[in-house]
Amino acid sequence: MIQIIETPEEQMVVDLYNKLGGASKMLTTLANIYAKAAIQPDGRTNRMFIEIAETLNEVGKVIALDETTSETIEDIARRLTEQGYRRGAPSPHAESVDRVICAGSTCSECGHVGLDYVPFYKSNSYRSFMACPKCDYVAEI
Ligand SMILES: [Zn+2]
């Protein structure tokens, strides 16, 4: 997180970053947009858009490792519940995309493959986490 804020423009970027839940979340959001746009009106898919979406997801996964928190998933659930979040995803599409990311992710603490998908949402805010079922590792997607 950026700590030194000197201009209103910097504050705006920090606010947006926090609102979206981090850089990896921003990339996942963009990947979702491309994945949706890839399906053309005639039902065929645009290969280039699919490839862009896959690349954005890959970069997002790498960045997510830097956003690792020392909180446990229970700590996070308690904190977000206090902030008015409920368990769950805002749409089946968001859920299916993030579930795939979690299922293909490796725990950076213990090496376990296949992390639990733990989503939270309130009004227009969606935050999702991958949690290791074998240890306390957790990271925001
Ligand atoms: Zn682990």
Alpha carbon of 140 to ligand 1 centroid (Å): 14
pLDDT at residue number 2: 40
- State residue 1's pLDDT score: 41
CA 27 to ligand 1 centroid distance, Å: 24
Quote the ligand 1 centre to 11 CA distance (angstroms): 35
> Does the pLDDT of residue 139 top 50, yes or no?
yes
pLDDT tens, 24-42?
Answer: 777 888 888 888 888 888 8
Domain map of the chain by residue range? 1-67, 68-141
Ligand 1 centroid distance, CA of 111 (Å): 6
pLDDT at position 30 is 84
Q: What is the whole-number distance in angstroms between the Cα of residue 95 and the centre of ligand 1? A: 22
Please write the tens of the pLDDT for every residue from 39-82: 888 888 899 999 999 988 888 877 776 665 678 899 999 999 99
Compute, in angstroms, the gap from residue 125 CA to the centroid of ligand 1: 27
Name all contacts of 97-105 with Cβ < 8 Å and 24+ positions apart: 97/28, 97/31, 97/32, 97/35, 97/57, 98/28, 98/128, 98/141, 101/28, 101/57, 101/60, 101/61, 101/130, 101/141, 102/130, 102/141, 105/61, 105/130
The pLDDT of residue 134: 95
